[in-house]
């Protein structure tokens, strides 16, 4: 799980950094793609966290 979290954080950093750098270079299309990528990574992270929380809840109900 740790490697997943590290990879996720690294992807977000890269996406955010690309977005900032490209925005400064005034490359609107590429900038938009980098922003979309960063948002997609965040959305995937949130979905994954929700799934993990739901799974923990189900595990608790089964054990309890």
pLDDT, tens only, 16-44: 777 677 666 666 666 677 788 888 989 99
**CB 64, CB 41: distance < 8 Å:** no
Query: Count of CB atoms within 10 A of residue 15's CB?
Result: 20
Query: Which pLDDT does position 10 carry in this prediction?
Result: 76
Query: Which pLDDT does position 27 carry in this prediction?
Result: 63
Model confidence at 1: pLDDT above 60: no
Rounded distance between C-alpha atoms, residue 2 and residue 21, angstroms: 28
For 19-38, b where at least 16 C-beta lie within 10 A, e where not — what string?
beebeeeeeeeebeebbebb
Our CA angle for 13, 40, 54, nearest 5°, is: 100
């Amino acid at each position: 799980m740790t490697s997943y979290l590290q990879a996720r954080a690294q992807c977000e950093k890269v996406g955010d950094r690309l977005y900032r750098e490209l925005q400064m270079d005034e490359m609107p299309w590429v900038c938009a793609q980098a922003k979309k990528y960063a948002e997609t990574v965040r959305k995937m992270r949130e979905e994954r966290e929700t799934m993990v929380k739901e799974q923990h809840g189900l595990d608790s109900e089964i054990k309890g």
